[in-house]
Amino acid sequence: MPIFWLSEDNTIFPDPRHAEPEGVLAVGGDLSPERLLKAYAQGIFPWYGPGEPILWWSPDPRAVLFPEELRVSKSMRPYFNQGKFSLTFDQDFKTVIQLCGKVRRHTWITRDMLEAYTRLHEMGYAHSVEVWQDGKLAGGLYGLALGRVFFGESMFTKVSNASKFGFIALVRQLQARGFRLVDCQQETHHLASLGARPIPRDTFLEYLRQNQHEATARGSWRAWLEEEH
């Protein structure tokens, strides 16, 4: 099927199952909160380079991590047992997303993307994980939550294993709060080593259909870690 073109005043997406083989579903539109929230709820996300039109994707298969399938290697256990890092949630969202953009030579985290996800953070949908070492930001990641699904977007690391530490800690928190799925979008060796695996897009969309009835934990997640003490 031809790629669907979106207008700025139309936030209705075509069926994700009509995406091109490589995953592109639609072009155009904007990054308004309304459009982004509708996109993620339907298994669609934006991904495009600087100077390019907005591209909307729904790949098949879809890389996901079921929290109960999280794998923590022996080499990572000392980072938790010996307190090599400290952790916060939603303490410095804007810095995290900026650093995620800087670690990639040809970043897709444009100024428009940064501003759009910062708005979602201010609305209580997008969240950040910060990993600290000696009072300095060593790594982190961000994404957004709808219902019992967390949609991971990007991560960065300045110190070896910092982003992996943050991801593991986040998944453990999500599992404790009944989250069913972490969307990893596309498979990578790094995520596969942590337990992520591809599933058919139709299966992923069925999880999202069921997720529509779940309440979203909006607002700051800072208190999540404080609840442990």
Span 4-59 CATH architecture: 2-Layer Sandwich (3.30)
CATH 3.30.70.3550 residue ranges for the chain:
4-59
pLDDT value, residue 82: 86
What SS3 class is residue 88? strand
pLDDT value, residue 229: 47
Q: Which residues contact 54 (CB under 8 A, 6 or more apart)?
A: 6, 27, 28, 29, 30, 31, 46, 48
CA 99 distance to own-chain centroid: 15
Asked whether the beta carbons of 117 and 78 are under 8 A apart, the reply is no
Residue 149 corresponds to which tokens in the numbers above?
């699904």
- For the segment(s) 63-226, the CATH number from 3.10.20.810, 3.40.50.12780, 3.20.20.70, 3.40.630.70 is 3.40.630.70
**Element (H or E) spanning 141, and its range?**
strand 136-146
CATH 3.40.630.70 residue ranges for the chain:
63-226
pLDDT value, residue 84: 87
Q: Which residues in the chain show pLDDT less than 70?
A: 1, 104-106, 228-229
User: pLDDT for 76-128, tens place per residue?
Assistant: 999 998 888 999 999 999 999 999 998 765 578 889 999 999 999 999 999 99
What's the whole-model pTM score? 0.95
